[in-house]
Amino acid sequence: MSVGFTSPNRSLPKMALLAVPRQPTSQWAMWENVGQVGADVVEYGAEASPGGFRVMSNFPGQESDEEFGPAHVLLVGGSHLGLYADYF
C-alpha cells in the first residue's frame, strides 16, 4: 500500500519518515485502507525508532498549509518529542 522514506525536512526530530500510498489518493480512500496503513507505519516506526515514535496524518488542501502533495502519514521519533507536536 505505501512506501516509506526519510523526510528531507531538517527541522523535524532525528527520525522523520513519510509513509505515502504508492498511488496518489484522497484522505477518504487512504483511511478506507487504515489497516494496511497502520501495519506499514508500525513496521517502519519500530525499525527506525525502537524507543517510540509519533504518527501524524497530512492531507493537502488550501487550509492545511501542507507542502507535500499526496495524502501521507508522518512518523517522527529518535529523540525525546515532548508532550505536543510543537517542533514545527
Give the CA radius of gyration of the chain.
Answer: 13
Taken in order 72, 76, 81, 83, is the CA torsion positive or negative?
positive
pLDDT of amino acid 18: 74
* Residue written as grid cell 512506501: 3
Q: Has residue 56 been placed in a domain?
A: yes
How many structural domains is the chain composed of?
Answer: 1
How many other CB atoms sit within 10 Å of the CB of residue 52?
A: 11
Residue 71 pLDDT: 74
Judge whether 64 lies within some domain. yes
d(CA 42, CA 2): 12
Strand duo 72-77 + 53-58: pairing: antiparallel
Q: Is there a domain that residue 48 lies in?
A: yes
Walking along the chain (88 residues) 10 residues at a time, the average pLDDT comes out as 59 71 74 80 87 83 69 81 65
Is 82 a domain residue?
no
Indicate which CATH number applies to the domain containing 35. 3.30.428.10
